[in-house]
Structure 1
Amino acid sequence: MAAFLQFWGPSAEGQIKTGDKVPVFSLQDQNGKTFDISTVLGKQPLVIYFYPKDETSVCTKEACSFRDSYQDFQRYGAMVIGISADNVASHRSFATHHNLPFTLLSDTKNEVRKLFGVPKTFVIPGRVTYIVDKNGTVVHTFNSLRDGEKHVEEALAALKKM
Structure 2
Amino acid sequence: MARPILSRIALMSVAAGLALPAWAALDIGDPVPKFIATAALGGKTFRYSLADALAKGPVVVYFFPAADSSDCSIEAHAFAEAIDQFAALGATVIGVSADDINTLSKFSVKSCQSRFPVASDESKSVINGFDALMQTRPDFANRLSYVIAPNGKVAYYYQNLNPDKHVERMLNAVRALPRPGSPK
Quickly name the TM-score band, shorter chain normalised. 0.7 to 0.9
Query: Which structure 1 residue ranges, 4+ long, deviate > 3 Å from structure 2?
Result: 10-13
Task: State how far apart, in whole Å, the 2-side matches of 1:105 and 1:119 are.
Answer: 15
Q: Are 1:48 and 2:92 counterparts?
A: no
SS of alignment partner, residue 82 of structure 1: strand
* Higher gyration radius (CA): 2
Change (3 A) 1:144 1:11: closer
Deviation at 1:75, TM superposition (A): 0.6
Equivalences for residues 71-90 of structure 1 within 5 A: 71-90=84-103
Quote how far apart the aligned CAs of 1:88 are: 1.1
Deviation string, structure 1 residues 3-56 (Cα, Å, up to 9, x no partner): xxxxx9x9436x211111111111101133211212122320100000000000
CA displacement 1:69-113 (0-9 Å, x = unmatched): 111111111110000011111111011123131010000111100
SS in 1 for 2:54: coil
Letter paired with 2:23: A
- Contact 1:63–1:100, Cα closer than 8 Å, also in 2: no
- Conserved in 1, the CA contact under 8 Å of 2:58 and 2:150? yes
Gaps of 5+ in 2: 1-18, 178-184
Higher relative contact order (CA 8 A, sep 6+): 1
- 1:28 aligned residue (35, 38, 41): 38
Instruction: Select 1:156's aligned residue among 171, 175, 178.
Output: 171
- Spell out the pairing of 1:107-118 with structure 2 (5 A cutoff): 107-118=121-132
Q: How does 1:67-106 map to 2 (within 5 A)?
A: 67-98=80-111, 99-106=113-120
Contact 2:23 2:159 survives alignment (8 Å): no
TM-score calculated relative to the size of structure 2: 0.77
2:32 corresponds to which letter in structure 1? Answer: V
Contact 1:12 1:119 in 2 (8 A): no
What is the aligned residue count?
152
**Percent identity between the two aligned chains:** 30
Q: SS of the counterpart of 1:18? A: coil
2:79–2:167: 8 Å Cα contact kept in structure 1? yes
Gaps of 5+ in 1: 1-7
Normalising by structure 1, what TM-score? 0.87
2:65 and 2:97 in contact (8 A); partners too: yes
- Of the three residues 8, 11, 23, the one matched with 1:12 is 23
1:125 aligns with 2:158: no
